[in-house]
Homo-oligomer: A and B are copies of this chain.
């Protein structure tokens, strides 16, 4: 049976609190036995979440903006360079059972918009781009939370609704 994939989105840089959140979230995702997928870069939320998941023994996948493996975080088990730039954001979304969005900029917001448009549930961790944006995006469900633990609980709820674990 295919494994459950949780996508963790977020920026290339980030304030200490955001990176700490991403690291803790990675650990909690791995502890549940879920696969962590992100954009794979060696910086920011991508690197921190992969590091957390790896330290907790989880499986990590990075779908890279770049076409070169050298642009990948060292905390990834599976490195998929795409050379497709921001077009790979679509894969990040479609491959995820549930998407967790940490604080980011346009790239992250495009992923939230696509996730909701394609019906993927989104958990926003300490990041509130506004209900007028989120409501306009489409059929997916979303929830705002403040901590990695609350994000993980929200993911588990969405997975239960989807009949997955």
Residues of A near any B CB (own CB < 8 A): 1-3, 5, 35, 61, 63, 67, 69, 72, 74, 76-91, 94-95, 104-107, 109-111, 113-118, 128-133, 136-138, 140
Copy number in this complex?
4
A163 CB to nearest B CB, Å: 13
Could you name 9 residue pairs across A and B whose Cβ atoms are closer than 8 Å?
A2-B77, A63-B80, A80-B91, A86-B114, A86-B117, A87-B87, A107-B114, A109-B137, A110-B114
Least CB separation from A105: chain B residue: B138
A141 CB to nearest B CB, Å: 13
**A83 engages B86 (CB within 8 Å):** yes
**B137 engages A128 (CB within 8 Å):** no
